[in-house]
Amino acid sequence: MPAIPLSRAGPANPCVLLTGGTGFLGQHLARELVMAGARVRALSRRDASDAPLRALGVEPVRGDLDDADSLGRALEGVSAIFHAAADTNTWTPGNAAQTRTNVEGLRALLARASSAGVETVVHTSSVSAYSHLVHETLREDLPQLGGRSWINYERTKYEAEQLVRQSGLGWLIFQPAHILGPGDTQNWSRLIRLVDAGKLTGVPPGAGAFADVREVAKAEVRGWRAGLRGQAFLLGGQHASFLELLTIVGRQLDKPVPRRAMPAPMLKAYARLVYWGSLVTRRKPQITPEAAVFTCKDLRVDSSKAIQVLGYRETELEALVADTIAWLRAEGLASRGETPEDRVKPTGGPG
C-alpha cells in the first residue's frame, strides 16, 4: 500500500483534545496537530503548564485523568482525542499510581468520550505492550504478552490497549520503540547529559530501535487525518546497542565513554541490591530490576507497515543524536562544545 498523502481527508478545523501535551512526545504532537489545522485543547493540571501549551498554539483546559467531571468539560465539542499521557514508572512502590494513570485514567477518559460523542481516539502505546517476554523482531501480527508480565509498566500498556480496542470508538494505536530527539529532558537525554558531565559510570548491555520523536508525531497525525481506524502501527528506528549509541554521543560531544558494556548478570544483581535498599530509604534508585530488564534486552522492531502505509521515516542515528545534542545545547542543558569558528581562532602570538 502506498504512503498516504499528508493532505488527504479529514474535517476542516476539527477540535482535538490532547493529553500529555507538555511531555516529550506531546509537544511534538501539539505542533503537528496545529500545523494540520486542528483546534487543539490540552489537559493542564496546573497553572505552570498553561504558558508552555499556549506557546505551542494550544488551548490549555484544566483537567486531570483522575477527575471525571473535568474530563467531561474538556471533551465538549471534541471530535478526536490524542492520548499521549502515561506514567513510565519502573519502581514497585509507584505501581499503584501508575495503574491509576495508565489504566483507570484512560478508562474514565474513554467513558466520558463515548458519552460526549467523540468519534476517534489516537492512542500512544509502546512496544512494551508486547513485553520483554517476546524475543523475536516485533511485528504487529505477533501476540502481545504484556498481560503476563511481572513488570507493571508492560501490564498497564497492554491493558490500556485492550481498553482502546474495546471502547466502541474509532481508534488508532501507535507503538513506538525508544524515542529520541529534540525536546527530550527525561528519557535518553539523561544519558547524554551524564556523558557530557563526565559522570557516566557504565553502559547497559542491551540494544534497541531508536525512533525520531518528530517522525512519531507526524505518523500519528497523518494516520488520523487520513481516516485510518482500527489499526496499530509499530514505530521503530535504527537498531543499535546502547554501547554504540553512547559511543556516537561521546564522539559528538568529544567526551570519553566506557569501551565495554556491563555484563547483564552484574547489572541485574546490582539492580536487585539497590532496590532492597530503596525500600528502606523510600527513595527511587538509579536502576531498578524492571529497568535492568529493559536495558539488558535486545529490542528489534519492524516498522515496515508504518513506512508503507504512513510514509514513516527512520532517522539515521548519527543525525538523530546530533539534533538532540544541538537542542540540549540551545536550551543550556549541555555544554556548548567546540565550534568550527573555535578551531580556527588564533590562540596568541605575534600580530
- Could you report the per-residue pLDDT of 274-308, keeping only the tens digit for each? 999 999 999 999 999 999 999 999 999 999 999 99
Give every CB contact of residue 157 below 8 A, 6+ residues apart in sequence.
86, 102, 125, 126, 128, 129, 146
Q: How confident is the model at residue 336 (pLDDT cuts 50, 70, 90)?
A: confident
Can you read off the three cell numbers belonging to residue 293? 530488564
Residue 170 pLDDT greater than 60, yes or no = yes
User: What's the whole-number mean pLDDT along residues 94-98?
Assistant: 98
> pLDDT class for 33, splitting at 50, 70, 90?
very high
Look up cell 555544554; give the residue.
335
The answer, yes or no, to whether residue 348 has pLDDT greater than 90, is no
What's the CA angle centered on 187, arms 186 and 189, to 5 degrees? Answer: 85
In the prediction, which pLDDT does 208 show?
98
Q: Give the other-Cβ count within 10 Å of 165's Cβ.
A: 14
- Residue 9 confidence (pLDDT): 52
Grid cell for residue 251: 564522539
Report the C-alpha gap between 234 and 247 in whole angstroms.
26
pLDDT of residue 330: 97
> Domain 15-179+210-236+301-314, what architecture?
3-Layer(aba) Sandwich (3.40)
How much is the pTM?
0.93
Short-list 206, 277, 214, 194, CA closest to 241: 206
Residue the block writes with cell 489516537: 122
Contacts of 233 (CB under 8 A, 6+ apart): 140, 172, 173, 174, 175, 219, 223, 305, 306, 309, 310, 312
- pLDDT of 341 > 60? The answer is no
Average pLDDT over the chain, rounded to an integer: 93
User: 260's torsion region: left (phi>0), alpha (psi -120 to 50) or beta?
Assistant: beta
- The partner residues of 171 in beta bridges, in order of sequence, read 121
Q: Which residue type does 15 have?
A: C
Nearest to 34 by CA among 6, 15, 62: 15
Q: State the first-to-last Cα distance of the chain, in angstroms, to the nearest integer.
A: 66
Residue 176: closest CA among 230, 220, 242: 220
What's the pLDDT at 2? 52
Q: Specify the range with the lowest mean pLDDT, choosing from 2-6, 148-152, 319-323.
A: 2-6
DSSP lists the bridge partners of residue 170 as 120
pLDDT of residue 7: 45
Three-state secondary structure along the chain?
CCCCCCCCCCCCCCEEEEECCCCHHHHHHHHHHHHCCCEEEEEECCHHHHHHHHHCCCEEEECCCCCHHHHHHHCCCCCEEEECCCCCCCCHHHHHHHHHHHHHHHHHHHHHHHHHCCCEEEEECCHHHCCCCCCCCECCCCCCCHHHCCCHHHHHHHHHHHHHHCCCCEEEEEEECEEECCCCCCCCHHHHHHHHHCCCCCCCCCEEEEEEHHHHHHHHHHHHHCCCCCEEEEECCEEEEHHHHHHHHHHHHCCCCCCCCCCHHHHHHHHHHHHHHHHHHCCCCCCCHHHHHHHHCECCECCHHHHHHHCCCCCCHHHHHHHHHHHHHHCCCCCCCCCHHHHHCCCCCCC
Sequence letter at residue 86: A
Alpha-carbon gap, residue 207 to 242, rounded angstroms: 5
Of the candidates 73, 1, 155, 90, the one whose C-alpha atom is nearest the C-alpha of residue 287 is: 90
Instruction: Write out the three cell numbers for 5.
Output: 498523502
